[in-house]
Amino acid sequence: MSNIDEEIRREVIAEVYRQVDDLDWDGMTTRARSDWYARCIDDPLIGGKLTRFIARDRVRVWVKDGPIKELPRARYGLGPYAQFAVSRYPGMEQIAHQAIGPEWLADPETVEVKPNRCLVHGPESKVLMIWGPAADLADLVWAGINTRVDGGAEPLIVVASPQGTRLSEGEMLRHRLLAKEATIDLRHITLRLARV
């Protein structure tokens, strides 16, 4: 990415995020996403700008491994692409309120990613809130186990599903049972994207 002009790189990331937001990316099938990747190569605002700096056959990979890979974190307001997000999920404070209660306060100085996590302070204790989608459950549980082994704050896993995606009762029960095996509390919440 370093050989792409910075202004062009920023313009392309902003355009990618604008388009995927208009397309309802989270609701798209794998095939529809693949079709969009193919179209973006010829799009003058994406591939047209990138091919001045990288080979045409690298455009899809650049878009997929850069802006799209960072899209979930950007929507949480985290990571290097956050400023380009057109829509955002609720912030960590709102996630804590929804998952634990309104008296819990997230500490933005403790935010880490991969998976997303931060300390959340309650009336008499604190927890390390670890959140992400159901697809990342293994990473969420693993981060919780590592927190426990490292002697950190009590871990709490929050499986955060975007509105429009639905987990079955069986899936949610399985998540809770898996977390219980690691002696970690787990909560499920639904997140609504909002335009910024």
State the pLDDT at residue 185.
97
Please answer whether residues 74 and 93 qualify as being in contact, where contact means their C-beta atoms are separated by less than 8 angstroms.
no
| Confidence at residue 164, expressed as pLDDT on a 0 to 100 scale | 77
**Residue located via tokens 């355009």:** 15
Instruction: Note the pLDDT tens digit of each residue in 29-69.
Output: 999 999 999 999 999 999 999 999 999 999 999 999 999 99
Split at pLDDT 50, 70, 90, the class of 26 is confident
Taking the C-alpha atoms of residue 81 and residue 17, their distance in angstroms, rounded to an integer, is 10
Distance, CA of 63 to CA of 58 (rounded, Å): 9
Q: Which of 188, 137, 139, 146 is nearest to 128 (CA)?
A: 146
Mean pLDDT of 69-82: 92
Q: How far, CA to CA in Å, does 127 sit from each of 79, 117, 150?
A: 22, 10, 14
Between the CA of residue 161 and those of 7, 95, 187, what are the distances in Å?
34, 11, 11
So what's the pLDDT on residue 1? 43
pLDDT at position 3: 87
Tell me which of 1.10.3470, 3.30.310, 3.30.1360, 3.40.50 is the CATH number of domain 92-195: 3.40.50
pLDDT greater at residue 66 or residue 152: 66
Report residue 2's pLDDT band, with 50, 70 and 90 as the boundaries: low
DSSP codes, 44-65: TTTHHHHTTTS-GGGHHHHHII
CB neighbour list of residue 186: distance below 8 Å, 6 or more residues apart: 156, 157, 158, 159, 175, 176, 179, 180
Q: Where are the domains of the chain?
A: 6-88, 92-195
Give the integer Cα–Cα distance in Å for 91 and 94.
5
- The 10s digit of each residue's pLDDT in 78-137 is 889 999 999 999 999 999 999 999 999 999 999 998 999 999 999 999 999 999 999 999
CB 159 within 8 A of CB 189: yes
Helix (H, G, I), strand (E, B) or coil at 42: helix
Least confident among 9-23, 93-107, 156-170: 156-170
Helix (H) or strand (E) holding 111: none
Q: So what's the pLDDT on residue 97?
A: 97
Residue 162: pLDDT band by 50, 70, 90 thresholds?
confident
Q: Are 118 and 145 in contact (CB under 8 A)?
A: no
Q: Name the token pair of 34.
A: 């693949």
Per-residue confidence (pLDDT) for residue 24, from 0 to 100: 86
Token pair belonging to 44: 């003058």
